[in-house]
Amino acid sequence: MNKTAQIIQKKKKTILENWMSNQLSDQALRDDLISNEDLHKQSEELLNGLARAMATGNVDNIYAAEYEPVTEIISDISVTRARQGFSPRETGLYVLSLKQAIADTLEQELAGQHEQLYKEVTLVSRLLDSLSVITFETFIKGREEVILRQSDEISEISTPVIKVWDGILALPIIGTLDSARTQVVMENLLQEIVNTGSNIAILDISGVPAVDSLVAQHLMKTVSATRLMGAECIISGIRAEIAQTIVHLGIDLSNIKTKASLASALQLAFSMNKIEVKSNARNANFGLRR
């Protein structure tokens, strides 16, 4: 067993106290997110794991089996922290402040033995650097998971399928249509067509900021799939600038029913389903006729 491992083992308590006070003194500590007791418990666990791992004699390869408990604790901590909303700085400092605490202790223990001290400090800092890299990796991974989940949720939320009339569905699309989104839109729409037995679907794209050839392709896919199911698709909410880009890009929408507004699309849908809507007012008869 090397010197550092011995010292850490011996001085565990002092190091832990040092480390805690380092962490607590940092401006960035979020005592609103984690209580001091929890922090203390977490830190103690990690230090114990580290001491045990170092005692095996392996002090440079953190991917070895001995370090598994340590890396596990660290990944665990940083993933939870990522979810709780800690900043990367706070999470990074957690491990880096341990380095300071150990270095301080080593300095006291090895006072006067400069060469030994230098060697041990480099060793410790190398080890803890690799550990902090793991911290960042897992922190980012945790964040990415959050992002992934959110984008899933957003695409779920933002594509409601509304039954506007017996046999007529409307689907307002808001935001850009990418291929993942199209997939969700298509699935929801087709499933709803089956559930409600509707034969007309109105896709309203007034909330789509821009239509390029890719978005148009996605729209056409949705229309084709709807037709395969045996329902007709009307695209509405085509703004002037969107009509312009469509024509300038040379996108052919001629075999798709398009309408400028949702209202006129609904009107078309009514007439396709042979539904008549009448106003009760005597003179204002703008009802829909076949």
Residues that bind other proteins (CB under 8 A): 180, 183, 186-187, 190-191, 193-194, 197-199, 221, 224-231
Distance between CA atoms of 139 and 133, rounded to whole angstroms? 10
Q: Compute how many other C-beta atoms are within 10 angstroms of the C-beta atom of residue 227.
A: 14
DSSP designation for 258: E
Nearer to other proteins, 53 or 168 (CB): 168
Distance between CA atoms of 22 and 98, rounded to whole angstroms? 8
Nearer to other proteins, 14 or 196 (CB): 196
Nearer to other proteins, 78 or 226 (CB): 226
3-class DSSP assignment, residue 104: helix
User: Smallest distance, Å, CB 194 to other proteins?
Assistant: 6
User: Smallest distance, Å, CB 104 to other proteins?
Assistant: 38
User: Smallest distance, Å, CB 141 to other proteins?
Assistant: 9
User: Smallest distance, Å, CB 17 to other proteins?
Assistant: 37
Q: Compute how many other C-beta atoms are within 10 angstroms of the C-beta atom of residue 117.
A: 18
User: Smallest distance, Å, CB 240 to other proteins?
Assistant: 29
Task: Output the CA angle 15-21-23, nearest 5 degrees.
Answer: 100
Nearer to other proteins, 14 or 273 (CB): 273
DSSP designation for 28: T
Nearer to other proteins, 194 or 214 (CB): 194
Nearer to other proteins, 214 or 247 (CB): 214
**Which alpha helices (H) appear in 2-113, and where do they start and end?**
3-10, 12-25, 36-55, 68-84, 88-109
Nearer to other proteins, 229 or 251 (CB): 229
Nearest C-alpha neighbor of 176 from the set 83, 242, 93? 242
User: Smallest distance, Å, CB 229 to other proteins?
Assistant: 5
User: Smallest distance, Å, CB 187 to other proteins?
Assistant: 6
Q: Are 241 and 262 in contact (CB under 8 A)?
A: no
Question: What amino acid occupies position 186?
Answer: M
CA Rg value for the chain: 32
| CB contact burial 95-116 (16+ within 10 A = b; e otherwise) | bbbbbbbbbebbeebbeeeeee
Strands across the sheet with 232-236, in order?
A: 162-165, 168-174, 200-207, 232-236, 257-258
User: Smallest distance, Å, CB 226 to other proteins?
Assistant: 8
Nearer to other proteins, 107 or 187 (CB): 187
